[in-house]
Structure 1
Amino acid sequence: MDRGTRNDSSAKKLTPLVSKTNPLDPAASTLHNRRALYPAITFKGGKVLRPNREPWTSLALELKTPRLNDIHQHLWLAGLPAAARPLHRQKLLGRNILVTEDPDEHLVWFELDIFIKPLPDFLLDWNFWNDSLCLDQGLHEAACGLLLSYAWLVRHKSDLDIAKELGLLSKNMEWSKWVEFIDTFLDNINCETMSDVNKRYKYGELRLSRLNAIYRLAPPTYSLRNLVRGYQSGSTWYRAFFERHFKWILAGFAIVSVLLSALQVGLATSMLQSNGSFQSASYGFTIAYLVAVVTSVIVVFLVWLGLFCYHLLVTWRNDRAVNCRRLAGVSFP
């Protein structure tokens, strides 16, 4: 996307929401080297992008959250409309803070892991806001949202130390300058209505297991691909897939096994051996359990077979499509 293709809604110049005094001094001069602001290379679908030659597209990939915006009406199922916990609190909860460069994964958590995107240095530079982010309404709101999330995460000096240790914030950041910077930023947005930030940031932390369910079943994103992969696919090993989705079957079998053992003990007593009703119930329960075991095995096998065929077909089609495009010299969509 170039300057001519940005949203019409951003025709008027927006106001930078950060101080003209760069909080990263004395390293501020490095921010004026635009080549150092972007990733070395990135991909959009199957297309190779060179961010320094396509800055607007790169900024969209760095800041916008289109996948979460698509399911925004269902995000109440995955998280609370509240601020995310600060970094020191994440540590107290025993969570592993994992670095991600995808803004759609920022503040998404699963079990004992939470994904956090490092704060790009260019969001601390007034000139960059004035020259780039304020020219596009969508980029402006996404940048404000990411900055707001860091106001949630880095509330205390201990949070800043954690952020610098993990590479989430520049090591040149000083606590006094961070406080001044965030204070200036918060003065320029409405923290009550959240009207100045991307709507994704109206929610804080989001649970990945719920996002996967939403992405698989919600009408806006329903497709065979999303049904299989969900919002974020974890391990590609089938063993991990079945452990996540079918371990409840093992728990069910364990409970039923205890019941069968109790029935067997009952049948060994003289009082229940002559009880016709108990005999009939034991017989029916045993048959039902055997049918359930056989059915479960068949279902698991069919799911595995379906996944195997799906991945095989998708891989084959993708391989052919990529090779055909390369031979024809056609760029990827």
Structure 2
Amino acid sequence: MEGVPFEESHELCKELEIDEDTTEIRPKAAEATRTDASPGQVITPNNILPGEPRVELTDPNIYEILQEELMTRSLNKLAPHFWLMTTQRSNNIRPLTEQLIQGRAIALTEMPGLHLVWVNGRVFVKPLPKYLLSYAFWKHYLVSAKSPIQQVHREELLQAALGFLRSYAYLIQHESDFRLATKEEKTRLIPEGVSYADFAAFIVRFKVDDKFVSPRYQVGELRLARLNFWSKVLLFKRSYYPVKWEYAAYFAQFYAPLLFAFAMFSLLMSAMQLVLAVRTVLEPSDSWLLFARAARGFALFTVFIVAFVIASLLLVLVVLVGQEIYYASKDLYSKNKRGSTLRDQENQCDGGGQ
């Protein structure tokens, strides 16, 4: 993608103005009061990145700072294997109101790698940084050849920023979603002073094609449990992000399945012992013959029920895993087919142009 994805008239943060000829950066509000700046001099109030008072605009490590704020390197490494973890569609992002319907609470995070990751009734969402709403920021730092950031790094940041903003085009699709994103007492995701009409006009510009965004944002929501599992296998990490920090909480998650397994096997062994015991004492002349036969029958029935329950659960597990593998493979095939079709069309266009 060439150029800023939105027009200057649609920017939601008007704190910066950058002269590309002199690389002078100044606040629009202070333009009339400061006319003595030399070329390249920064004269913004406190010389800070909008919304980030700890970051100076002239910081030589501006790329590293923006990388921490926007890049998702671990997820980009996992991207070729996303078909094992989630639906292969970038629009697989539920609006905020639907997240609540699904029983998920909106949890704020400043970690880009946790954005749109969900676990245990929570979905993590990274708030919109104020500087990403500025036309001047996009033009100078992410697009312009005069940017202090090297081109290869600039392209990576641009893809990450486009994907991140595009996710908000799906998270906030209605005014009710916008109200949830701007509730001060809950979780404010959008800076103050932005109206729904202005936001809608701004965010619609970010519905771009997958080829313009980083690999992580070519899919939507991700389940943390699967990320933790596949990070062990593919990245050789203990976990992607641990949700259980204390030993007690970590081991508590195994209590229920272990108790269920012990109960099933205990019931099964008791029933088998009863069958064997009845069989050894059973005699035709015994007055308890009828009860013994009933006990043996009930014990055999219990063995059958336990075996049936275990087999049913295993079958359900196999079916669920099979369905996920089927749909994941189908999505992967469709995605590869679409990519192949697009490449063929581009090659035809290039050939026709020559």
What are the within-5 Å matches in structure 2 for residues 173-252 of structure 1? 173-186=194-207, 189-190=208-209, 194-218=210-234, 221-222=235-236, 226-227=237-238, 230-245=239-254, 247-252=256-261
Per the alignment, in what secondary structure is the counterpart of residue 124 of structure 2?
strand
The CA distance in 1 between the partners of 2:131 and 2:221, in whole Å, is 24
**Aligned residues of 1:153 and 1:159 also touching (Cα < 8 A):** yes
Deviations 1:55-77 (CA, angstroms, capped at 9, x unpaired): 21111111111010111112222
* Counterpart code for 2:98: R
**Aligned residues of 1:19 and 1:185 also touching (Cα < 8 A):** no
The CA distance in 2 between the partners of 1:51 and 1:211, in whole Å, is 35
Shift of 1:19: 2.0
Extract unaligned runs of 5+ from structure 1. 1-12, 42-48, 286-333
- TM-score, length basis structure 1: 0.66
**Aligned residues of 2:118 and 2:223 also touching (Cα < 8 A):** yes
The CA distance in 2 between the partners of 1:73 and 1:204, in whole Å, is 14
Per the alignment, in what secondary structure is the counterpart of residue 100 of structure 2?
helix
The CA distance in 2 between the partners of 1:261 and 1:61, in whole Å, is 58
Change in 2 beyond 3 A, CA 1:38/1:272: farther
Q: Which residue, out of 141, 147, 157, partners 2:175?
A: 157
Tell me which residue corresponds to 1:146.
Answer: 164
The CA distance in 1 between the partners of 2:56 and 2:271, in whole Å, is 67
**Aligned residues of 1:23 and 1:173 also touching (Cα < 8 A):** no
The CA distance in 1 between the partners of 2:281 and 2:8, in whole Å, is 88
Change in 2 beyond 3 A, CA 1:248/1:18: same
Shift of 1:162: 0.6
Deviations 1:28-76 (CA, angstroms, capped at 9, x unpaired): 33794551436456xxxxxxx9887322111111111101011111222
**Aligned residues of 1:64 and 1:103 also touching (Cα < 8 A):** yes
Deviations 1:5-32 (CA, angstroms, capped at 9, x unpaired): xxxxxxxx941112202443xx633794
**Aligned residues of 2:3 and 2:143 also touching (Cα < 8 A):** yes
Pairwise CA RMSD: 2.8
Change in 2 beyond 3 A, CA 1:264/1:39: farther
* Counterpart code for 2:260: A
Q: Which residue, out of 186, 190, 209, partners 1:169?
A: 190
The CA distance in 1 between the partners of 2:58 and 2:241, in whole Å, is 28
Extract unaligned runs of 5+ from structure 2. 18-26, 28-43, 145-153, 284-295, 304-354
Change in 2 beyond 3 A, CA 1:206/1:272: farther
Greater gyration radius? 2
Tell me which residue corresponds to 1:29.
Answer: 15
Change in 2 beyond 3 A, CA 1:52/1:161: farther
**Aligned residues of 1:133 and 1:140 also touching (Cα < 8 A):** yes
The CA distance in 2 between the partners of 1:50 and 1:247, in whole Å, is 51
Q: Which residue, out of 263, 271, 278, partners 1:262?
A: 271
Deviations 1:157-187 (CA, angstroms, capped at 9, x unpaired): 000001111111123221111121123333x
Tell me which residue corresponds to 1:16.
Answer: 4
**Aligned residues of 2:49 and 2:57 also touching (Cα < 8 A):** no
Tell me which residue corresponds to 1:98.
Answer: 107
**Aligned residues of 1:18 and 1:125 also touching (Cα < 8 A):** no
The CA distance in 2 between the partners of 1:180 and 1:22, in whole Å, is 7
* Counterpart code for 2:182: K
Change in 2 beyond 3 A, CA 1:58/1:79: same
The CA distance in 2 between the partners of 1:132 and 1:151, in whole Å, is 23
Q: Are 1:88 and 2:97 matched, yes or no?
A: yes
Per the alignment, in what secondary structure is the counterpart of residue 268 of structure 2?
helix
Shift of 1:261: 3.0
Shift of 1:91: 0.6
Tell me which residue corresponds to 1:305.
Answer: none
Change in 2 beyond 3 A, CA 1:133/1:256: same
The CA distance in 1 between the partners of 2:256 and 2:77, in whole Å, is 31
Change in 2 beyond 3 A, CA 1:75/1:21: same
Tell me which residue corresponds to 2:143.
Answer: 134
Change in 2 beyond 3 A, CA 1:273/1:215: farther
Shift of 1:262: 2.1
Tell me which residue corresponds to 2:75.
Answer: 68
Instruction: After superposing the two structures, state which structure 1 stretch, 49-58 or 209-218, moved more.
Output: 49-58
- TM-score, length basis structure 2: 0.63
Give the number of aligned pairs. Answer: 244
Per the alignment, in what secondary structure is the counterpart of residue 189 of structure 2?
coil
Tell me which residue corresponds to 1:331.
Answer: none
**Aligned residues of 1:108 and 1:206 also touching (Cα < 8 A):** yes
Per the alignment, in what secondary structure is the counterpart of residue 97 of structure 1?
strand
The CA distance in 1 between the partners of 2:219 and 2:130, in whole Å, is 24
> Identical aligned pairs, as a percentage?
31
